[in-house]
Structure 1
Amino acid sequence: MKYRFMDIAACPMCKHFPLELYVIETKEYPEREDQIKALLEKYKPPLCELYCYKLQTPIGKPIKELKGGETPCHECLKIEVAIGVIYCPNCNRWYPIIDEIPRMLPDNLRKREEDLNFLRKYADKLPDKIAREGKPWNLGEEKK
């Protein structure tokens, strides 16, 4: 998943934007350097319009007006989030990123045991608000 996804991602349950990102593992693909250069020549930075995760931009302020117009687009495009969690601070739901793919499904399409296995595996790398208190399920519920 590209960090740029955070510019468009909204919670599938409550529609809140922006969401929080917790990165556990990233991957870089040096062989994509030429593609990145071509993309940045065709579409001038900033590529994100509403929210830049890397700059933590305030919503409502144009990204091109921040930090003297300099953006981390080139560095950002080099990196894929391989494993992580997207978290909604409004409804406390979390969505896993597995094999570079964000799994942003509504509660009724999620698989409880798969999600709990993910939490068990990465609980030590995630804040308690996700691992022990997050929705639709969490590790705190297992102790009950």
Structure 2
Amino acid sequence: MRLWLFDILACPICKHYPLKLYIFSYQVEEDKFKKYLKDYNENTFNYENQDILKISQDTEDKILIKDEIVIEKKPIIKYLEDILTSVGELKNIEDLSPYEKSKKCLSIAREKIFEQLIEFSKKSDLNQIESIIPELIFLNKLKIDAEIESGILFCNECNRWFPIIDTIPRMLPDEYRDKAKELDFLKSKKDILNKEFFNLDLKPFNLQ
């Protein structure tokens, strides 16, 4: 499961949104996150040779933008609103993987970059989009490239949990879920998750 999917996932049972995401492992190597950080910190993202951001102008010379997070061309103000919403969802993610670099990437995105985008959105001249291109490319790479191998999606409205196994979120109705297999999965993560998680009235089943 890639991080962009988290932007649109709601609980299939009670329809609550957003969910909570616990990440146990990634399918990609930690070096990928290390490269994201290096490119961002050294400002080596090459806008001219990248195909992530698409910036154009309409007939009234208004800037339109789309990327791999906001896939429809939108005026810059609406684009920034959507990007800020997407970045805001990162606060609902808890990275429990062994990767320190992935944790650093998430921290930079939801704190430093989030604040930079807010400040930019307040400017009178929003046409200076070039000043935040490194931040936008960083966010796109993090959200689109980084695939989660193992994790849990949790609904804090109805207390249902849904495993992510082999990159696939298993979000079936209760009656179609494989109780034995999913409890084995949950048991295998007992030492990773906070014990308070298991004290919740987890549905549709718990280890207790």
Q: TM-score range by the shorter chain?
A: 0.7 to 0.9
Bigger relative CO (Cα 8 Å, ≥ 6 apart)? 2
Q: Give SS of 2:163's match.
A: strand
Deviation at 1:114, TM superposition (A): 1.0
SS of residue in 2 equivalent to 1:105? coil
TM-score normalized with structure 1 length: 0.74
- 2:207 corresponding residue in structure 1: 139
Instruction: Figure out how many residues of one structure are paired with residues of the other and give that number.
Output: 129
Give the drift of 1:76: 2.6
Name the SS for the 1:11 alignment partner.
Answer: coil
Contact 1:2 1:81 in 2 (8 A): yes
Q: Distance in 2 between matches of 1:112 and 1:55?
A: 30
- d(CA) in 2 for partners of 1:46 and 1:24? 25
Secondary structure at the counterpart of residue 144 of structure 2: helix
> Which stretches in structure 1 are left out of the alignment for 5+ residues?
31-36, 58-64
Residues 3 and 142 of structure 2 are in contact (CA less than 8 Å); yes or no, is this contact kept in structure 1? Answer: no
- Answer yes or no: is the 8 Å Cα contact 2:53–2:68 preserved in 1: no
* Matching residue's letter, 2:14: C
Distance 2:3 2:198 in 1: 22
* Residue of structure 1 equivalent to 2:169: 102
8 Å Cα contact 1:85-1:95 kept in structure 2 = yes
1:16 aligns with 16
Contact kept, 8 Å, 2:26 with 2:146, in 1: the verdict is yes
How far the C-alpha of 1:14 sits from its partner, in A, is 0.2
Is 1:41 aligned to 2:53, yes or no? yes
Q: Percent identity?
A: 35
Distance 1:67 1:97 in 2: 35
Higher helix fraction (1 or 2): 2
Structure 2: distance between partners of 1:87 and 1:93: 6
Partner of 1:123, secondary structure, is: coil
Query: How large is the Cα RMSD of the aligned pairs?
Result: 3.0
Over 6 Å off, 4+ runs:
none
User: Aligned match of 1:114 in 171, 177, 181?
Assistant: 181
